[in-house]
Chains A and B, each alone.
Chain A
Amino acid sequence: MVELSAAERAIASGAQGAGAAMAMRIVAEAARLMGAPRLIPVASAHIDGALYHGDSGTLFAERLVAGAAKVAVRATLNVGSLGPAGCAAIRLPPHERDMAGRMMRAYEAMGCEPSWTCAPYQAGHRPAQGTDVAWGESNAVVFCNSVLGARTNRYGDFLDIACAIAGRAPDYGLHRPENRVATLLIDVTGLSQALRSSDVFYPVLGTFLGRMAGDAVAVIEGLQGCTTEDRLKALGAAAASAGGVGLFHVAGVTPEAPDAATALGGLPAREQILLTPQEVASTLARLSTAGDTGRVDAVAVGSPHLSLAEIDQIEHLLAGRTLKAPLYANTGRHVLKPLEAQGRRSALESAGVIFVVDTCIVVTPILPEIADAVLMTNSGKFAHYAPGNTGYAVTYGSLGECVESAVAGRLVRERQAWS
């Protein structure tokens, strides 16, 4: 049974206004359902709830605003259903567009930062290791826990903003150190150094991790010296789309795993899985749904949102050429602004790159409706969600293959070691 402090009870009864009271009651009721004994303070929040799913979510946010609710801690916003920074056209009907806009404004009115990105951790929001925070959006949650070592559960719609307003979260799950210990060991040392050091491997590994771990915590052995921040980002995003992964460790790389034994809490792994080249091949095959076709109607990169380093790579691969198929570059305003200041945005746009900023192609209608269309992507998360959310079949490939295919207007494969 959850026990609230006197101050928390006072807020829940309206001492700081109707909005703060509603938020505190929602956090307390969630704690009761989760079996949390108490609430704990959180240092920041990342809010996924400002994405439009229907009018009720807008009415909820506006009720909080009417009750004078303000966030008590730093709160960044995940993608919305519109793109206020401009760029790609969004095909939402008028009523939905209006309600989605009202929702986004309501969240800003509560004091949330208009970051509008699913990669807040690359937009200057990086809580310190060991801090409790309340983050939403599955890839942000897994990055926050795994790569930053801050502590959060997967906060869903409504609870994310309620925690931000209350400045508190239920004390359970990944906030508690005993639940952050790995029970599963995934050994990738049997794969070549070349594969382990290639970008295109990480969404495949993440998909495998998500399928194997579900919501259990795993430690991966064998990636020392192979990872970059963007590779860990891609790994976590794919793992969180394929399974309920909220935290993983990489031995010798992530902050809570100086080595596998430490991540396992000094206990033997409950399960040990060797990732074989055969498993890599079958996981890779499942990322594509388009089958044996050379057709590419569009290319999409940037789920999670592209970093500046990833834009550098695209520019380098493009080498001044123009595209036959559109390349949708999903990113945040934290990346678009420096690109614009350096005059790089217009150069990329004239080459055929379409920037999708503040939102992304799987959460709101952007891709044109084309019968039997094929989308090429290097993102495990796009590969997972694009077929259901956009109607496009997916062909998965490396960033190099994505750029070459966009230039050629059809599928181009490059040599890549897969074992």
Chain B
Amino acid sequence: MELNTEILVPGAAVEGVCLALSAPISFWGGVDPRSGIIIDARHPQRGLSIAGTILALPGTIGSSSASAVLLELVHAGKAPAALLMDAPDAILLLGLLVAREMGWPTPPALRLPAEQQRPLAGLRLLLSSDGRITEDKVASD
């Protein structure tokens, strides 16, 4: 398997297990900025942590403070290792742009349609710095 994506926010190569959300999420009020745990009571993945995952987002619910939550996650070391987004949510991604300006390690964000995100759920993935996604078979075995 190899997927080519559009790079929204560039970053170094990363690997991690894909957490593919099954419903859109609002970062503000939906993710605890200190722990990275999903706290939205109505979200199907409530209670899971997004920290260190390759987080696949089928959609986001816009809150103007979503960027602040993402920046806080980066600062606290609880951010996802990378974001895969169906559509670029500029408000959310501003959190990554600001993290980069602050000189903090910035997870990359790649654009990947929701229907291509679903089959990645639970897989250990390698993301190259040029936006290619492959399965990390060695680590999975």
Q: Cβ of B64: which chain A residues have Cβ within 8 Å of it?
A: 48, 136-138, 154-157
A56 x B65 contact (CB < 8 A):
no
Kindly report which residue of chain A lies nearest to residue B103, judged by CB atoms.
A63
What is the distance, in angstroms, from B99's C-beta to the closest C-beta of chain A? 8
Q: Cβ of B66: which chain A residues have Cβ within 8 Å of it?
A: 156
Range for the number of chain B residues in contact with chain A: 20 to 34
A53 x B102 contact (CB < 8 A):
no
Partner of B34 from the list A54, A59, A63, A215 (CB cut-off 8 Å) is A54
Q: Is B67 an interface residue (CB 8 A)?
A: yes
Q: Cβ of B65: which chain A residues have Cβ within 8 Å of it?
A: 48, 51, 53, 156-157
Interface residues of A in 12-31 (CB under 8 A from B): 22, 25-26, 29-30
Q: Is B29 an interface residue (CB 8 A)?
A: yes
Q: Cβ of B90: which chain A residues have Cβ within 8 Å of it?
A: 30, 33-34, 159
What is the distance, in angstroms, from A210's C-beta to the closest C-beta of chain B? 13
CB-defined interface of A51-66 with B at 8 Å, one 1/0 digit per residue? 1011111011001000
A33 x B8 contact (CB < 8 A):
yes
Q: Cβ of A56: which chain B residues have Cβ within 8 Å of it?
A: 68, 71-72, 74-76, 102
Q: Is A244 an interface residue (CB 8 A)?
A: yes
Partner of B75 from the list A26, A48, A59, A156 (CB cut-off 8 Å) is A59
Kindly report which residue of chain A lies nearest to residue B29, judged by CB atoms.
A388
B67 x A157 contact (CB < 8 A):
yes
Q: Is B113 an interface residue (CB 8 A)?
A: no
The answer for the CA separation of A203 and B67 in the assembled complex, in Å, is 28
Partner of A156 from the list B34, B91, B101 (CB cut-off 8 Å) is B91
Q: Cβ of A157: which chain B residues have Cβ within 8 Å of it?
A: 64-65, 67-68, 94
Chain B CB within 10 A, most for which of A22, A55, A158, A244: A158
Q: Cβ of A138: which chain B residues have Cβ within 8 Å of it?
A: 64
Task: Say yes or no: A33-B88 contact (C-beta < 8 A), given A57-B72, A60-B71, A158-B71.
Answer: yes
- The dominant DSSP class at the B interface is helix
The answer for the CA separation of A57 and B95 in the assembled complex, in Å, is 10
What is the distance, in angstroms, from B33's C-beta to the closest C-beta of chain A? 5
What is the distance, in angstroms, from B129's C-beta to the closest C-beta of chain A? 18
B76 x A59 contact (CB < 8 A):
no
The answer for the CA separation of A159 and B94 in the assembled complex, in Å, is 7
Q: Cβ of A154: which chain B residues have Cβ within 8 Å of it?
A: 62, 64, 91
Interface residues of B in 18-57 (CB under 8 A from A): 28-29, 33-34
Interface residues of A in 124-182 (CB under 8 A from B): 136-138, 154-159
A53 x B72 contact (CB < 8 A):
yes
The answer for the CA separation of A155 and B34 in the assembled complex, in Å, is 24
CB-defined interface of B61-84 with A at 8 Å, one 1/0 digit per residue? 011111111011011100000000
What is the distance, in angstroms, from B89's C-beta to the closest C-beta of chain A? 9
The answer for the CA separation of A207 and B8 in the assembled complex, in Å, is 34
Partner of B67 from the list A63, A137, A158, A215 (CB cut-off 8 Å) is A158
Q: Cβ of A29: which chain B residues have Cβ within 8 Å of it?
A: 97
Q: Is B127 an interface residue (CB 8 A)?
A: no
Kindly report which residue of chain A lies nearest to residue B33, judged by CB atoms.
A54
What is the distance, in angstroms, from A390's C-beta to the closest C-beta of chain B? 13
Q: Cβ of A159: which chain B residues have Cβ within 8 Å of it?
A: 67, 90-91, 94
Chain A CB within 10 A, most for which of B69, B74, B90, B97: B90
Q: Is B93 an interface residue (CB 8 A)?
A: yes
Q: Cβ of B28: which chain A residues have Cβ within 8 Å of it?
A: 53
Name B's A-contacting residues (CB within 8 A): 8, 28-29, 33-34, 62-69, 71-72, 74-76, 88, 90-91, 93-95, 97-98, 101-102
User: What are 9 inter-chain pairs, A to B, with CB distance below 8 A?
Assistant: A33-B8, A33-B93, A34-B88, A53-B65, A53-B69, A54-B33, A56-B72, A59-B102, A159-B91
**Beyond A26-B98, A30-B94, A55-B75, 13 additional pairs, beta carbon < 8 A:** A26-B94, A29-B97, A51-B65, A53-B69, A53-B72, A54-B68, A54-B69, A54-B71, A138-B64, A154-B62, A154-B91, A156-B65, A159-B67
For the complex of A and B, list the 10 residue pairs with the smallest distance between their C-beta atoms, beginning with the closest.
A156-B64, A54-B72, A56-B75, A157-B68, A156-B91, A33-B90, A53-B68, A56-B71, A34-B90, A56-B72
